[in-house]
């Protein structure tokens, strides 16, 4: 197909359904097709969807096809197409402010991180358009920022609900760990010496492990508790979903995982102290004690990694294309 495209007029391309196929490929993120078709016929970068008068830059931004958008931004027509508008006078920044249900979904689960992705797209498009585009108004008299607020109103509510439910559950766990660890350090295993009042096993290595891990668990659980309380008391503005809330969630979740791990080490150390010489009992219990930590880490660690990638990963336009455009 690409061999016969050079030299064809725009009318012939439209009759041959080439323009329609290109627009559909942009919407679906079929970057291999887009690269091949634009290499064969670079004029197709000027094609427009007839029903909306949106160019392929707008369609890539609307459907959140980041690889296609990065590809198009390398074309010579970039500045001209980014300054265009559709039939409703929507600039490409207005298009980026719209929430399209059929758009490519965010890989990180949860409404809060979908909202983060939407904010990232808006900021990314805002960074490549001329400053005058930011204040342009569509036929409804809305700026791009006003349209973003209106179109994402429900998503903000869903994101707030998701964050609050997650934070409430983690706050309860953190509060329980703080209570348990505080009680454990007061009632140390082996009791206290009646004459000096000091712990009986004060100079034992295992006892020092017990004290250190108890302190670490208490402090990390307290940090997690404060982070999640900070999330619960947040104002939940659109900008908060970009960095503030994700960072608090990441710190809270990572410190909670660490506090559970150190709590289990504290428990194992106390067993060593109490059941000295009973390794046939202690070792199986320690193996069983590692299961809750491993299970919780397995369930939450993937989410934590996805949060870090989503928040601190390379920007949409800074990422390298997987395939070149010759």
Integer angstrom CA distances of residue 231 from 120, 244, 246, 300: 20, 9, 9, 18
Q: Provide the pLDDT confidence category of residue 199 given band limits of 50, 70 and 90.
A: low
pLDDT at residue 248 greater than cutoff 80: yes
pLDDT at residue 325 greater than cutoff 80: no
Q: What is the pLDDT of residues 4-45, one digit of tens each?
A: 888 788 888 888 888 999 999 999 999 999 999 998 888 888
pLDDT above 70 coverage of the chain, percent: 90
Q: What is the pLDDT of residues 303-312, one digit of tens each?
A: 888 888 888 8
Q: Provide the pLDDT confidence category of residue 175 given band limits of 50, 70 and 90.
A: very high
Q: Which helix (H) or strand (E) holds 164?
A: helix 153-186
Q: Provide the pLDDT confidence category of residue 326 given band limits of 50, 70 and 90.
A: very low
**Partners of 192 in beta bridges:** 199
Please, what is the angle between helix 31-40 and helix 18-28, to 10°? Answer: 140
Which residues make Cβ contacts (< 8 Å) with residue 324, sequence separation at least 6?
35
pLDDT at residue 194 greater than cutoff 70: no
Question: 231, 252 in Cβ contact below 8 A?
Answer: yes
Most confident stretch, 84-93, 266-275, 287-296: 84-93
pLDDT at residue 93 greater than cutoff 90: yes
Question: 30, 46 in Cβ contact below 8 A?
Answer: no
Give how far the C-alpha of residue 178 lies from the chain's centroid of Cα atoms, to the nearest Å.
28
pLDDT above 90 coverage of the chain, percent: 41
pLDDT at residue 62 greater than cutoff 90: yes
Q: What is the pLDDT of residues 267-287, one digit of tens each?
A: 888 877 777 767 777 778 777
State mean pLDDT over 204-230: 90
Higher pLDDT, 117 or 195: 117
pLDDT at residue 133 greater than cutoff 70: yes
Least-confidence region, from 107-121, 160-174, 284-298: 284-298
Q: Where in the chain is the domain with CATH 1.25.40.20?
A: 9-151
pLDDT at residue 206 greater than cutoff 60: yes
Task: Give me the pLDDT at residue 88, please.
Answer: 92
Q: Which single residue is written with the structure tokens 């409430």?
A: 168
Task: Give me the pLDDT at residue 271, please.
Answer: 79
**Partners of 54 in beta bridges:** 49
Domain 9-151: assigned CATH number: 1.25.40.20
Higher pLDDT, 318 or 287: 287
């Amino acid at each position: 197909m690409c061999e016969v495209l050079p030299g064809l007029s725009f009318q012939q391309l439209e009759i041959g359904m080439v323009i329609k196929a290109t627009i559909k490929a942009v919407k679906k993120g079929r970057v291999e097709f887009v690269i091949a078709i634009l290499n064969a016929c670079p004029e197709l970068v000027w094609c427009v969807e007839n029903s909306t008068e949106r160019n392929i830059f707008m369609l890539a931004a609307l459907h959140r096809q980041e690889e296609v958008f990065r590809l198009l931004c390398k074309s010579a027509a970039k500045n001209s197409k980014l300054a265009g508008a559709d039939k409703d006078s929507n600039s490409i920044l207005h298009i980026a402010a719209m929430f399209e249900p059929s758009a490519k979904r965010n890989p990180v689960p949860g409404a809060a991180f979908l909202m983060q992705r939407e904010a990232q797209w808006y900021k990314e498009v805002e960074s490549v358009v001329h400053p005058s585009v930011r204040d342009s108004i569509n036929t409804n008299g809305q700026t791009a920022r006003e349209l973003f607020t209106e179109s994402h109103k429900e998503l903000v509510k869903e994101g707030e609900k998701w964050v609050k439910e997650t934070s409430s559950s983690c706050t309860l766990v953190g509060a329980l760990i703080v209570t348990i660890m505080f009680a454990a350090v007061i009632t140390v295993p082996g009791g206290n010496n009646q004459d000096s009042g000091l712990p009986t096993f004060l100079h034992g290595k295992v006892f020092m492990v017990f004290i250190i891990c108890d302190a670490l668990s208490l402090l990390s659980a307290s940090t997690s508790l404060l982070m999640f309380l900070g999330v619960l008391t947040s104002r939940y503005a659109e900008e908060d979903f970009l960095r503030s809330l994700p960072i608090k969630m990441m710190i809270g979740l990572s410190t909670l995982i660490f506090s559970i791990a150190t709590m289990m080490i504290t428990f194992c150390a106390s067993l060593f102290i109490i059941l000295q010489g009973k390794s046939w009992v202690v070792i199986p219990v320690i193996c069983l004690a590692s299961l809750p930590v491993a299970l919780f880490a397995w369930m939450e660690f993937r989410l934590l990694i996805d949060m870090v990638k989503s928040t601190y990963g390379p920007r949409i336009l800074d990422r390298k294309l997987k395939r070149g455009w010759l």
